[in-house]
Amino acid sequence: MIAEPFAVGRSPIHRMDPRPRVVLATVFSFLAALSNGIPTLAGGLAFSVILVAAARLDMGLLVRRLLPLWGFLLLLWLVLPLTHKGETLYTIGPLPATREGLLLSARITLKSHAILLAFTAWVATMSFVTLGHALNRLRAPEKIVHLLLLTYRYIFVLEEEYGRLLRAARLRGFQPGTNLHTYRTYAYLIGMLFLRAADRAQRVHRAMQCRGFQGKFYSLYRFRAAPSDWIGGAAMTVAMIGLVYLEWKCRNLS
């Protein structure tokens, strides 16, 4: 089930025109991913924390969303300092931990948090449908937009169908275990699901043809940028230019 817990809200970010939000989030991710200076990355993280605060996100939910990332980062912090070549800072048993390894772990941590938080604040605060239409307005390839919107529409239907199949199997005494019978049953269920999805796709296409579909979708949505959007967007752009400047400084120093 796709839940959109952040999509509802009345914060300044929620009220901002979705198009600049998508653009800013994309530019910012590239910026954070390509920067290497620790000050730049720390600045980027601070910027995304401010965004999260401005979007007034539910902290509990946000932490739950970050948990998988933390698990992954924990692994990196354990492995990278010990495996990366460089100047030895300390040793754990026979293994030397390097300065470069620690720095790399810190960079990855800062980058991933900055990107994830900025995306949550900017993009997760709009509904899936709005995102689709914003991409459409931004002239993203139509096929991608349709794929996105149709997937969103039918993922629930397929989930329900899968649930029905699984229930039918359970009612006939199916209990999943670690054995060939279980694997085979799941393979059958998934195979059935693919068949049904293909059938449904054909029926949906026919229904669309009957309503005169000729390969082109028309969007009913129109977005209007308010003056406050221009000011907000400009401020965020200036902040990002500041980050670029910081990165340039960092590179010149080293």
215 or 227, CB closer to other proteins? Answer: 215
Segment near other proteins (CB under 8 A), from 68-76, 86-94, 102-110, 203-211?
Answer: 203-211
Residue 11 and residue 55 in contact, taking contact as beta carbons nearer than 8 Å: yes
Among 72, 90, 213, 248, binds other proteins (CB under 8 A): 213
Query: 96: closest CA among 85, 108, 110?
Result: 85
Distance (Å, whole) CA 116 – CA 28? 11
Residue 131 and residue 151 in contact, taking contact as beta carbons nearer than 8 Å: no
* Strand residue runs (E) in the chain: 88-92, 95-98
Q: Measure the CA dihedral 198/204/208/210, to 10°.
A: 100
Q: Which residues contact 150 (CB under 8 A, 6 or more apart)?
A: 204
Applying CB under 8 A, does 249 fall inside the site for other proteins?
no
81 or 132, CB closer to other proteins? Answer: 132
Among 53, 59, 63, 207, binds other proteins (CB under 8 A): 207
Under DSSP, is residue 85 helix (H, G, I), strand (E, B) or coil? Answer: coil
Applying CB under 8 A, does 144 fall inside the site for other proteins?
no
Among 204, 237, 239, 250, binds other proteins (CB under 8 A): 204
Applying CB under 8 A, does 250 fall inside the site for other proteins?
no
Among 83, 91, 182, 209, binds other proteins (CB under 8 A): 209
Residues 214-233 that bind other proteins (CB under 8 A): 214, 216, 218, 220, 222
Per CB under 8 A, residues contacting other proteins are 128-129, 132, 149-150, 152-154, 156-157, 200, 203-204, 206-214, 216, 218, 220, 222
